[in-house]
Chain A
C-alpha cells in the first residue's frame, strides 16, 4: 500500500450516473498494483474504494457510479485538480486460474474491473467471452472496449433496449459459451445466481462497506468456508466455493 497524489485528466459521464475518471500519477514509472484504489474525496472522512478499470505506467482509469454524497462530490471535481489515493489494495482476479477459455460475467458497475482482467487474459493468449448485463440502454458502458479484447461479447438489458432482454443468465443461455473458468463481478444477487447457474470453477469480486481498505480495521469481514476473511485485503476476489451465500 502506498499513498499517492494523482492529477485528474478527465472526469466525464460514460453512462447514467457513471463517470470515467482518468488519473495521472506523480511518477510516470509507477504501475499501480492491486484490485482497487481508495480515493480521498475532499470534505469526506472516509475514502471511497473504487475498482481499477484500466492501468498503464503512471496512468489509471477508474469508472465509478454516483451512489451518495461522496461520489457526487467526486463527480464535481474538475480536470487538473489533485486526488490523494491509496494504491496497491486488494487481491484481484487470477488470470492464471483459467486454462484456455474464460467467461467474464459483469453486471452494471461490476463491468469496469472485468476490462482490466480481459486485457490480462488476452495478454496470456486466452480466449475470452464477456457477458455484460445492464438495466437499460442508458446504463450500457465499455462494450466497445470489451469488443477490442474479447472473442465474443454479449450484452443483456433488463428492458431489452440493447442486446438480449433479461439478465446476464439469459444472455449466457442465448450464446452458450464454452469456458473452463468464469469470473464475475456485479450486484451480489447476480453473482449468486451466476455461481449457482454455472457449472465448473470460477471466482467473483465481492463488495462490502469498507473502513480502512487495507485490512487492519476489520470493518468488511465476511464468513467463508475457510473462516473469517476481509473483503478489502483477503479479497475482494474470492473463489466460488469459498463464499457462504
Chain B
C-alpha cells in the first residue's frame, strides 16, 4: 500500500503537508546545496517588508529549555528583491508550493507588498504576518485586535487573486475572535501560531540576553499551546489552517492535523536541525503504517 501524503490547500496540491516556517529557512536557497528542496511540501519564505531592513542589534538569539528566543527584527532585502531575485532563483530548483510571508508597518505597506507578491509568478500563497512580536512599531498592533487584523485582511484581499493566509499571534486573549474576524474579512486561510513573546536575563551581567530585551519564544515547549489554538480555531472557522508551533516530529505533524491543520509548518526545529523537515517527511509513511492511515488528508480535524 502506497501512502498518500498529499494535501489540498486552497486548491493547491502539496505532495506532503510539511512546510518550513517563515524565518527559519531563509529564502530556501540557503539550503539548496544541503538537501533536495523538492522533498518539501512547501516553503514559507523569510518575512519581507517594503524596504530592505537590517533588523535588530545582536545578540538576536537566546537559548531556552525546549526552545529559543529570536529577535532578528525582520532582516530582509525588501519586496522588490524578493519578487525579482529570490523567488525566480528558488524556482529554478524548487517545484513545490512557495509561500511569501509579508510584514508591514501600515495597511498601505501590507497592501503594496502583497500586490507585488500576488503579481510574482513563482509565488503560490501569500502569508500575511500580523503577529511578529519583534518590531517596535510593527505587526503586533495589527495582530492583537480583531478590528485591525480584519482591516489588513480586507485591504490585502482587495489586491490579491492568490490565496491569502493570515499568520496570527498567540499573544492575545482570544485567538478565536481574531481568526473569525480575518475569515469574515475574506481570508482564505490562517497560519497559527507565531512566536510567544519571551525574555531571558544573563544573571552574571544583570542584563537581558537579547539586545532588544524581548523576542519571540518558539520550539518544542510551545507545541501543546499551539496545538490547542489550532484545535480551537479549526473548529470555529471554515477556512484551512496551517498549524505551526513546536512541531519537531512526524507524530507532531499527525497531531496537528488531527487537531484541524491542513498543512503543518516546522519552525525552531529547523534552527537546531537544518534537516528536520526532510527527516520528518521520511518518518511520515512509517508512522502512517503504524497508525493505519492511508491518506493523510483524511485525518484532518478528526479529533
User: Complex formed: what's the CA distance from A186 to B118 in Å?
Assistant: 47
Secondary structure call for the B interface: loop
Determine whether the beta carbon of B270 is less than 8 Å from that of A212. yes
The proximity string for A residues 194-231 relative to B, scoring 1 for CB distances below 8 Å and 0 otherwise, is 00000000000000111110111111111100001000
Q: Please, which residues of chain B bring their CB within 8 A of the CB of A210? A: 61
Q: Please, which residues of chain A bring their CB within 8 A of the CB of B64? A: 45
Instruction: Indicate if B266 sits at the interface (CB-CB under 8 A).
Output: no
The chain B residue sitting closest to A216, CB to CB, is B26
Given A46-B63, A211-B68, A212-B274, also A217-B24 (CB < 8 A): yes
**Residue tally, chain A, CB below 8 Å to B:** 27
Cross-chain contact of A209 among B24, B61, B65, B75 (Cβ < 8 A)? B61
Secondary structure call for the A interface: loop
User: Complex formed: what's the CA distance from A212 to B55 in Å?
Assistant: 17
What class of interface size applies to chain B in its complex with A? Answer: 20 to 34
Cross-chain contact of B63 among A44, A208, A215 (Cβ < 8 A)? A44
Cross-chain contact of B58 among A40, A212, A222, A233 (Cβ < 8 A)? A222
Given A46-B68, A228-B75, also A219-B60 (CB < 8 A): yes
Instruction: Indicate if A34 sits at the interface (CB-CB under 8 A).
Output: no
Instruction: Indicate if A70 sits at the interface (CB-CB under 8 A).
Output: yes
Determine whether the beta carbon of B272 is less than 8 Å from that of A47. yes
Instruction: Indicate if A1 sits at the interface (CB-CB under 8 A).
Output: yes
The chain B residue sitting closest to A228, CB to CB, is B54
Given A40-B272, A217-B23, also A46-B31 (CB < 8 A): no
The proximity string for B residues 43-74 relative to A, scoring 1 for CB distances below 8 Å and 0 otherwise, is 00010000000110011111111111010100
Determine whether the beta carbon of A1 is less than 8 Å from that of B61. no
Determine whether the beta carbon of A211 is less than 8 Å from that of B274. no
User: Complex formed: what's the CA distance from A24 to B67 in Å?
Assistant: 29
User: Complex formed: what's the CA distance from A220 to B90 in Å?
Assistant: 23
User: Complex formed: what's the CA distance from A210 to B272 in Å?
Assistant: 11
User: Complex formed: what's the CA distance from A211 to B46 in Å?
Assistant: 15
Determine whether the beta carbon of B55 is less than 8 Å from that of A221. yes
The proximity string for A residues 1-26 relative to B, scoring 1 for CB distances below 8 Å and 0 otherwise, is 11100000000000000000000000
Beyond A45-B220, A221-B60, 7 additional contacts (C-beta under 8 Å) are A3-B275, A45-B272, A212-B24, A212-B274, A215-B26, A221-B54, A222-B58
